[in-house]
Structure 1
């Protein structure tokens, strides 16, 4: 009985790890970018907005 309980716990841990890995790959696949790339894009957008604001005045 204790062996069965241990196997169920191990199976639950492995299943949860697989779910987390699948979510991560889906997020990467949809976004297609890493966190550093997102940061670079955000910085470029802010710079472009700032430049446009300066050109308007």
Structure 2
């Protein structure tokens, strides 16, 4: 029974990892970076420079 649970948990982990890789590859083909969902410092600086050009 314990082996079956371990296999199930492993399948969930690998399935989720595969899904995340698929999403990253799909976005990179569209020209977006993998971190487009996050509000990182680089993204804040880019948005700020677009609002206030020097």
The interval holding the TM-score normalised by the smaller chain is 0.5 to 0.7
Q: What's the CA shift string for 1:2-55, capped at 9, x where partnerless? A: 0000000000000000000000000000116788xxx8xx6xxx5xxx48xxxx
Q: Say which one has the larger Rg.
A: 1
Greater relative contact order, per chain length (Cα 8 Å cut-off, separation 6+): 2
- Scaled by the length of structure 1, the TM-score of the pair is 0.56
Query: Aligned-pair RMSD on alpha carbons?
Result: 2.7
**Structure 2: 5+ residue stretches without partners:** 36-42
The structure with more helix, counted as a fraction of residues:
1
**Structure 1: 5+ residue stretches without partners:** 52-57
- Scaled by the length of structure 2, the TM-score of the pair is 0.59
Q: Give structure 1 regions of 4+ aligned residues with deviation exceeding 3 angstroms.
A: 32-35
